[in-house]
Each structure stands twice: as C-alpha cells, then as structure tokens.
Structure 1
Amino acid sequence: MLRRLRSLSPDDRRLIAAAFARLAAARLWLAVVPFRHVAPRLGTRIAPATDAPLAPVDPAAADTARRIRRAIAIAARNAPFRALCFQQAAAAKRMLNARRIPNALYLGAAVDPATGAMRAHAWVRVGAIGVTGFPVDPDMVAVARFD
C-alpha cells in the first residue's frame, strides 16, 4: 500500500487523504444524526427520481470526478471501519460540491425476489460518470435524487 501511495502524484495523495477524512466524517454524521436532518444537507431533493445520466460536464470536471472516484475507492478499501455505499456517496457528494462539480446522489431500493427482503443502495453520478456505487443493480429503483 505505501509503495503504491508513493507512486501517486502529491495531488492524488491529498485527494485520498481528503477522501479518508470525508468518509470518517460521513460515517460519524450518519451514525449520530437522524436521516430527516441529513437529507436537507445532501442538496435539493428531486422526486420522482430517475437514474438518467445528467447533463455532460466539461473535460476538467470529468477528470476530477474520476480522480475522486479513485480516491474514495482507495480510502474505503483501506479504512479501519466499514465505509458502505451511503458513506461513500455522502463523501463523494461533499468532495464534488466543494469543487463546484454538478452531481447527483441517488437513493434506491429493490426487493430481493428470493427472500422478499428490501435492499437499499446509494450512488453518485457526475454527468454519465459513475462516481460511487457502480455498477448499480438493474433491479434497483431510484427513489430519491439530491442535486
């Protein structure tokens, strides 16, 4: 891991450190604060939600979104706690918003046909770029979108 980190640019190392910090903050935030108080902080809620790709973004924003995707994935994989889809989505949304990159966080649900159990998932998209939570199960239906 350390050898791989040294091979990255200083900007990418800073982005990974920021991703670790955002994941930890998201985990604490989501564990302590009721969702009714979390939701307004995610952005403007769009209902009914669709998972259609957003408007295209400029190449620089697309590159930054891909770098954030990579940083979140590395941080989540190496975090000393479980960073689930919602923590990853909340962290990515905050990182993208801080850079003024238009994005949408989706909350979805699906019913497991075998057990009847409901499953939930969260994902973030920038234009057609999947930042976190991809690939999304085709049975997953977006029930809320936060821009």
Structure 2
Amino acid sequence: MKRRRSWKSKLERARTVDWRERGLLVEAAAQLLAARVRIAILPFRTIAKDLGTFVPPADKRIADCRAAAPVERRGMAEKVSWAVTRAAVHVPFRAVCLPQAMAAHAMLRRRGIESAVHFGARRGEEKPIDAHAWVDAAGVEVTGYPIDAGMKEIGAFV
C-alpha cells in the first residue's frame, strides 16, 4: 500500500525546488485547473478550436513536433513535461491525460514552442472504447507517455 505524504512533508520538499521550478509548478497547476473547468463546461468542439488545426497522423507537422529541436527548446519542453506531470499528481482533482495535454499545450504555446496534441483510441475492456491524449514537442514526449501498444492514433491538433 502506497503511503501518502503529509502536507508538512510536501511543503518541506517544495522548499528544495528553486523559484523557477516553483513558478512552473504553479503555472502547471493553474493550467490543469483551467483545463478541467473548460472540459466540464464547454463542448469539445469549442475546446478543439483552441487546440489548433486537426490533422491526420501522417501529417508533416506532427513529424516536425517529434523531431529533435535546438537544446533550449528541448530543455523547455522537458521542464514543461516535468511541471505538468508533477503538478497533476498533487492537484486536488483528477488530472488525467486530456487536462494534462491541454495544460502542456498551453504552456508550450506561451513559450513559442510548437506541439502536437495527439488523440488515440482502442477497444476497451470495461467500456466500449478507451481514449487517450498525449503531447509531443521539440522531440520530447511531454505528457501521456508511455502509450499502450493497442492505442491507435486518430489524429492530432497542431
């Protein structure tokens, strides 16, 4: 059984993170909350408009997001990945793949880094279909990884 940390130990651990990383964590938590609220109150077609252009999996723009990028862009994509995945564990609501993808995409866009928000599906065991979202940017697997082998990509927003 996994032991949950107390708030006191979490605060003590947070003090070891430098101010830049703390700022990224706060931004990631705020973006996760914004994504959860948007998902709860808006139809997906409205959310989709903010994600960009929907393209098929073979589109060149998706390959561009998966390709290696200059060190500073790659480094920032890695930091955004770290912040979103870390914040998702600690926010007081469920932050599954779609809110994480939306948060990472917004943070990367704010920094001028192109990203692809992928959507995939597979036949489910408990429900008819399982869906998943993941993000690539600057050659970095930002959120949603690893991807289940049975997951088939439907398309992506770029």
> Which TM-score applies when normalising by structure 2?
0.86
Kindly indicate whether residue 110 of structure 2 is the aligned counterpart of residue 101 of structure 1.
no
Give the secondary-structure state (helix, strand or coil) at the position aligned to 1:123.
Answer: strand
CA distance in 2, matches of 1:131, 1:73: 9
Give the secondary-structure state (helix, strand or coil) at the position aligned to 2:79.
Answer: helix
Structure 1 unmatched ranges of 5 or more: none
Q: Residue in 2 aligned with 1:130?
A: 141
Looking at CA atoms only, which structure, 1 or 2, has the larger radius of gyration? 2
Deviations 1:42-78 (A, max 9, x none): 011112x247562321111111111111111111100
CA distance in 1, matches of 2:74, 2:100: 18
Q: For the Cα contact (< 8 Å) 2:114–2:137, is it kept in 1?
A: yes
Which stretch has the larger CA shift, 79-88 or 50-59? Answer: 50-59
Give the secondary-structure state (helix, strand or coil) at the position aligned to 1:2.
Answer: helix
Q: What is the CA distance between 1:37 and its match in structure 2?
A: 1.1
Q: Identify if the C-alpha distance between structure 1 residues 13 and 111 changes in structure 2 by more than 3 Å, giving closer, same or farther.
A: same
Q: Residue in 2 aligned with 1:9?
A: 18
CA distance in 1, matches of 2:81, 2:68: 17
CA distance in 2, matches of 1:7, 1:110: 41
Q: What is the CA distance between 1:115 and its match in structure 2?
A: 5.9
Q: Residue in 2 aligned with 1:111?
A: 123
CA distance in 1, matches of 2:84, 2:115: 15
Q: For the Cα contact (< 8 Å) 2:77–2:138, is it kept in 1?
A: no
Letter in structure 1 aligned against 2:105: K
CA distance in 2, matches of 1:9, 1:44: 36
Identity among equivalent pairs (%): 37
CA distance in 2, matches of 1:75, 1:127: 21
CA distance in 2, matches of 1:63, 1:115: 38
Letter in structure 1 aligned against 2:50: R
CA distance in 1, matches of 2:79, 2:153: 25
Q: Identify if the C-alpha distance between structure 1 residues 127 and 138 changes in structure 2 by more than 3 Å, giving closer, same or farther.
A: farther
Q: Identify if the C-alpha distance between structure 1 residues 5 and 116 changes in structure 2 by more than 3 Å, giving closer, same or farther.
A: closer
Kindly indicate whether residue 68 of structure 2 is the aligned counterpart of residue 56 of structure 1.
yes
> Which TM-score applies when normalising by structure 1?
0.92
Structure 2 unmatched ranges of 5 or more: 1-9
Q: Identify if the C-alpha distance between structure 1 residues 82 and 116 changes in structure 2 by more than 3 Å, giving closer, same or farther.
A: closer
Which stretch has the larger CA shift, 53-62 or 36-45? Answer: 53-62
Query: What is the root-mean-square deviation of aligned Cα atoms in Å?
Result: 1.6
Where does 1:7-46 land on structure 2 (aligned, <5 Å)?
A: 7-46=16-55
